[in-house]
Structure 1
Amino acid sequence: MPSTLKIISWNLWHRAGALIGDIAALIEAEKPDLLLMQEAKQPLEGLHNLVGGHVHWQPMQKRVYGLAAWSPHELGNAHSVPLPISPFPFRVPPRLAQLLVLDGITFANVHLSHGQILNRRQILTIAQATEGPTVIIGDCNAVGRIRIPDFAEVGPLDPTHRLQTRLDRCLVRHLACTQSRVLARGPSDHHPIEVLIENAWATTDRAAEAALHCRAAGPAALAG
């Protein structure tokens, strides 16, 4: 296992977005250690037929899509954690986080609610449900800075959605990010984000300081 892990997160846009061929092209171009996907439909379980590796698909209640993860490495302890929901009736269906372990690091793949108080509560729930080196990454639907005890936000600062908003985020605990960037959007309404995570213990202050130096400006090319 490499000492630095390349992680990519991509909201595929289930209505008219990225298909299995687009995902395979991204994997072949970027060669990530872990690709986390939101709004992923169940046929993506066949991704290994194109690029090998291991796929985990997690359905989301009352939705036609779910959360998915692909890696060329074995992924351990794949499970989900239910997240807080809106107290108001007839709102969106329940949310959950997909949790996986790679090289001793817990990764939480998320597609959070639009409410800015609610999605912070959801992130805090994940933080409290995990321990040790942890990465929370995905479509957080967040506006503004995210402040969670013991976590540093390390993802890229460029817009990640076609409406020029930065919805896709990455937060780390006891880890540092050595590079982060936004990739070309492709057929989705979200850009993939890519982070390089150093698998070595780091304080929150060191992670925040490293994030200031690792954020690459401008989108990178996406094959396919």
Structure 2
Amino acid sequence: MKIVSWNLLRRVGASIDDVVALIEAEQPHLLLMQEATREIDHLPSRVGGAYARSPLPGRIHGVACWSPSGFLAPPSVWPLQPGALVRRVCQIVDCGAFAVANVHLSHGQVLNRRQLRLIAERLPRCGAVLGDYNLVGPALLPGFRDVGPRGPTHRMADMVGVRLDRCLVRGLECERTAILPHRPSDHHPIMVELRVRS
């Protein structure tokens, strides 16, 4: 399964036209988005497929997912431990043989690791966690391997590149990974190709 994850940077970043262009260029089986606003809700009218968005409580944006072939079940939403300013949720997509968690974790370097542990407890044996981790350094999540691209995925004040967008897996193999060309967000999209470990 080819999965692309992208933090859109809500109102001032990627538009729905940019998302459509990414879909047309990459042809993912699953697209995960963070900081998606109501504008992105029109995606199915532009490219078909199935779409679901889960706003963060009290925010104009949230996590969203799109699939060209539909979902086995409506994506579920799990609340995560809240940060000081923002309450977070995790979106779970059932992919049949495994589940994918779409995340936009808190900035606190202890809190975001606690959020990851909660997600790991709830995922099935084969699962992946993709998205904007807001995490610096190793994730330290027992049983999971970091298989996402290793280069900088976010530019801070147009100067310092850091790796915030990640993919952790359990019971899965990653066959290919890439940081995709930069678009109008402050994050690069990342791509992974995953399969169940034989």
Task: Bin the TM-score by the shorter chain.
Answer: over 0.9
Deviation at 1:73, TM superposition (A): 1.9
Name the structure 2 match of 1:85.
Answer: 82
When Rg is computed on C-alpha atoms for both structures, the one with the higher figure is 1
In the TM superposition, 1:1-224 aligns within 5 A as 5-75=1-71, 76-86=73-83, 91-163=84-156, 164-198=161-195, 200-201=196-197
* TM-score normalised to structure 1 length: 0.83
What secondary structure is seen at the aligned counterpart in 2 of 1:116?
coil
Deviations 1:142-189 (A, max 9, x none): 101112111111000000012300000100110010111101121000
For 2:50 and 2:11, how far apart are their aligned partners in 1? Answer: 25
For 1:100 and 1:44, how far apart are their aligned partners in 2? Answer: 18
* TM-score normalised to structure 2 length: 0.94
Deviation at 1:85, TM superposition (A): 2.2
For 2:131 and 2:86, how far apart are their aligned partners in 1? Answer: 18
For 2:14 and 2:94, how far apart are their aligned partners in 1? Answer: 25
Identity %: 46
Kept in 2: contact 1:98–1:108 (CA 8 A): yes
Kept in 2: contact 1:77–1:99 (CA 8 A): no
Deviation at 1:103, TM superposition (A): 3.1
State the Cα RMSD in Å. Answer: 1.1
Q: Which amino acid aligns with 1:10?
A: W
Kept in 2: contact 1:60–1:66 (CA 8 A): yes
Name the structure 2 match of 1:205.
Answer: none
Ranges in structure 2 where 5+ consecutive residues have no aligned partner: none
Kept in 2: contact 1:113–1:140 (CA 8 A): yes
Ranges in structure 1 where 5+ consecutive residues have no aligned partner: 203-224
